[in-house]
């Protein structure tokens, strides 16, 4: 962990790299698009800065046609916060994925928009164990619930095409978090579902699991489009960081050990 944090600190050590992260926080960019923000810097230098950010796992690169697009991966920043900042601060009870309350807020303006979240998390465990935790054992670590406050509910995810990621709190009451439409165990599983969002929204998310350095690199891709409230992208990004980077990671690594 300390070695990983050292890489993150190194990546954050240059002002241009910090500026790049600020830009990517707004939306993903190609290298060429990022180059336009720094007219005084050569394209080669920008590529070197991106490489250091990628080595620190702060940037995730995805190929889209003939272009490579750079995405912010905030999970290492969360780890750094927990290690160096969080333990010195008074903890507060907050749900990063409390989307129902967001919908109820007054003054919000509905608009057609979209977002895309890309994150990577390294888990020190075999790929098969991570896949099992994501599917068969999701009840053990997935903290968020759609059930009414004070009502106990249970989660299950059937990892087969047509299977459901479902929450039940009564014989006839419940909610669907996602529907499975692609499975290639233990490498990949794809689902579509609202994930707590309400209204005219199309949402899909994919887990990809790559074997890396004796463990598993979990890649998340989440896209959504439709009538989306302004704060939903940030809330889902933070929610995924917490679910996968903290809850799932701790569950799998402690279980394996």
Q: For 236-247, what is each residue's pLDDT tens digit?
A: 999 999 999 999
Which one, of 113, 138, 142, lies nearest residue 240 by Cα?
142
Per the domain annotation, does 91 fall within a domain? no
Instruction: Tell me the pLDDT band of 153, cut-offs 50, 70 and 90.
Output: very high
Residue 217 and residue 140 share a domain: yes
Residue 142 and residue 230 share a domain: yes
Per the domain annotation, does 8 fall within a domain? yes
Cα–Cα distances in Å, from 17 out to 45, 46, 174?
A: 11, 9, 45
In CATH, what number is assigned to the domain containing residue 8? 1.10.10.10
How many structural domains comprise the chain?
2
Per the domain annotation, does 100 fall within a domain? no
Per the domain annotation, does 40 fall within a domain? yes
Per the domain annotation, does 196 fall within a domain? yes
Cα–Cα distances in Å, from 88 out to 79, 85, 92, 95, 129?
A: 14, 6, 12, 20, 33
Per the domain annotation, does 96 fall within a domain? no
Q: Which domain holds residue 198?
A: 110-256
Is residue 8 within 8 Å of 77, Cβ to Cβ? Answer: yes
Per the domain annotation, does 105 fall within a domain? no
Residue 123 and residue 48 share a domain: no
Residue 143 and residue 225 share a domain: yes
In CATH, what number is assigned to the domain containing residue 184? 3.30.530.20
Cα pseudo-dihedral 71, 132, 255, 193, rounded to 10: 50
By three-state DSSP, how is residue 152 classified? coil
Cα–Cα distances in Å, from 2 out to 173, 208, 210, 229?
A: 45, 26, 23, 38
Per the domain annotation, does 86 fall within a domain? no
This prediction has a pTM of 0.65
pLDDT at position 88 over 50: no
Which pLDDT score, from 0 to 100, does residue 5 have?
65
Q: For 187-214, what is each residue's pLDDT tens digit?
A: 999 999 988 888 888 899 999 999 998 8
User: Residue 79: exposed, middle, or buried by beta-carbon count in 10 A (0-12, 13-18, 19+)?
Assistant: buried
Residue 169 and residue 53 share a domain: no
d(CA 207, CA 122): 13
Residue 181 and residue 64 share a domain: no
């Amino acid at each position: 962990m300390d070695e990983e944090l050292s890489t993150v600190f190194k990546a954050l050590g240059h002002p241009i790299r910090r500026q790049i992260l600020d830009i990517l926080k707004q939306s993903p960019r190609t290298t060429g698009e990022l180059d336009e923000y720094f007219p005084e810097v050569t394209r080669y230098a920008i590529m070197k800065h991106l490489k250091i950010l990628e080595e620190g796992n702060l940037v995730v690169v995805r190929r889209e046609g003939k272009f490579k697009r750079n995405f912010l991966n905030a999970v290492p920043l969360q780890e750094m916060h927990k290690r160096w900042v969080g333990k010195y601060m008074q903890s507060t009870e907050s749900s990063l994925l409390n989307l129902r309350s967001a919908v109820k807020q007054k003054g919000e303006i509905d608009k057609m928009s979209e977002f895309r979240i890309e994150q990577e998390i390294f888990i020190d465990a075999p790929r098969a164990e991570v896949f099992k935790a994501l599917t068969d054992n999701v009840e053990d670590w997935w903290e968020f619930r759609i059930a009414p406050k004070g009502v106990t509910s249970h989660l299950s995810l059937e990892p087969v095409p047509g299977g459901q990621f479902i929450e039940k709190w009564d014989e006839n009451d419940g909610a669907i978090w996602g529907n499975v439409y692609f499975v290639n165990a233990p490498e990949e599983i794809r689902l579509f579902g609202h994930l707590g969002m309400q209204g005219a929204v199309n949402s899909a998310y994919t887990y990809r699991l790559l074997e890396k350095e004796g463990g598993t690199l979990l890649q998340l891709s989440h896209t959504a489009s439709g009538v989306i409230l302004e704060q939903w992208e940030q809330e889902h990004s933070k929610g995924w960081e917490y679910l996968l980077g903290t809850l799932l990671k701790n569950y799998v690594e402690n279980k394996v050990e």
